[in-house]
Amino acid sequence: MILQVPQADQKALDQLENLLQMLPSSHKKRPVIERELRMLLSGRTGEKNVAYQLEFWYKDAADVVVANDLRFEYNGRSVQIDHFVALPAGFLVIESKSLPDHIYIDEAGNWFRMARGKRRVEDREGMSNPIEQNKRHIAVLQELFGSVAHGGVPPLANVIVFPHPKVVVRGSKPAGAYLLRVDQLHTFIEKLRGSKPGPGTASTFDLIKLALTYHRPLVFDPYERYHIDKKDVLPLSRRIEFDVKQKAYLCVFCAAKMALQRDRNGLFWGCPNNPQCKNRVPASVAVQIGTEAVERSEKDKDFLTWLFTDKPRLCPNCGDILQRKKSRNKEYWACPNVTLCRYRGS
């Protein structure tokens, strides 16, 4: 039997992907978010593989109850459990580790990822011990079940599953935990499935359903997690306004008149209140915003005003108001930003 558990992970993935779509490519937090998104996607792929195996074999089983992706909050502590399996005699607390590498465990219980380096020499990289991580999960579950169980708490087995087919674990065999590849999981459960519950222990099936009442999906706020100001992801077209009366571009964040500037990427309008504001918009975007503002202004004019006032003309390169110039009896339109833009047109 597979218990349905409210999930938040997919929403978190969608939030991160949407944030990356809006975040400028030069934003300093972008590499961190991209790296964590790759890790999250990899982890979810592995968890889905394990969940698929459990559902394939035990979807309709009455004596095997499965809950995937649980997050408990109890006595001020929170734990995230990838897969929680109730058998007649006890529980399996399963942590899935999506690692394609060889894993080495030394005699002290330290875990290392092994990778081929230069000259075919293996490089070691330390990693967190998933057994210890799962022990913390089990400790919270034991405390929770101990407070509500009518009878003794059934045993909770510490199980680490590797979904990647190429993973190899070498070194010392850790005590008090089971290390399995995903293709070994079914056989492992079948060996335990026929075991009888200990005398006086509470029902595992009642406890796992009770545990779901303590499930609290993680509320994920990417802006808070990565300390990102929401104005950083505001579309460029909404970061600037053109005031037709003032004939100026205004910063939407601080209402300051923006100034035309140039960098290696070209012309842009920048807020003068730098570094407090740091708002900057490419000139190509400003041209579009200014043109739309002028068109709206023209539509709002009454007939006499429209008849006796000239329509502002914007520089197609930077968006500033063009000025009428005269040279050798020839009139032309020129951008006032002679050092930055130098536009001329008839």
CA-closest candidate to residue 20, choices 276, 260, 226: 226
**Segments forming the whole domain that contains residue 114:** 2-224
Number of domains within the chain: 2
Question: Are 217 and 245 within one domain?
Answer: no
Last residue of a domain, one of 224, 251, 286: 224
| C-alpha span between 281 and 133 (Å, rounded) | 47
Question: Are 140 and 254 within one domain?
Answer: no
Encoded tokens for 335: 């951008």
Question: Are 270 and 131 within one domain?
Answer: no
Encoded tokens for 83: 């897969």
Question: Are 175 and 43 within one domain?
Answer: yes
229, part of any domain: no
Question: Are 201 and 84 within one domain?
Answer: yes
18, part of any domain: yes
**Sheet with 280-282: strands ordered across:** 259-263, 266-270, 280-282
Question: Are 289 and 186 within one domain?
Answer: no
The conformation of residue 151, written as its DSSP 8-state character, comes to: S
Last residue of a domain, one of 224, 250, 284: 224
Question: Are 84 and 206 within one domain?
Answer: yes
230, part of any domain: no
From first to last of the 346 residues of the chain, give the pLDDT tens digit.
Answer: 777 665 655 667 778 888 887 777 777 888 888 888 888 777 778 888 898 999 988 888 889 999 888 888 888 888 889 999 999 999 999 999 887 778 899 988 899 988 755 444 467 788 889 999 999 999 999 998 888 887 789 999 999 999 988 888 888 888 889 999 999 999 999 999 988 888 888 888 999 888 888 888 877 788 888 888 877 788 888 889 999 889 999 999 889 999 999 998 899 999 999 888 888 899 999 999 999 999 888 887 765 555 556 788 899 999 999 998 888 778 889 999 989 998 988 7
61, part of any domain: yes
Evaluate the CA torsion angle 117, 122, 128, 131 in order and state its sign.
Answer: positive
25, part of any domain: yes
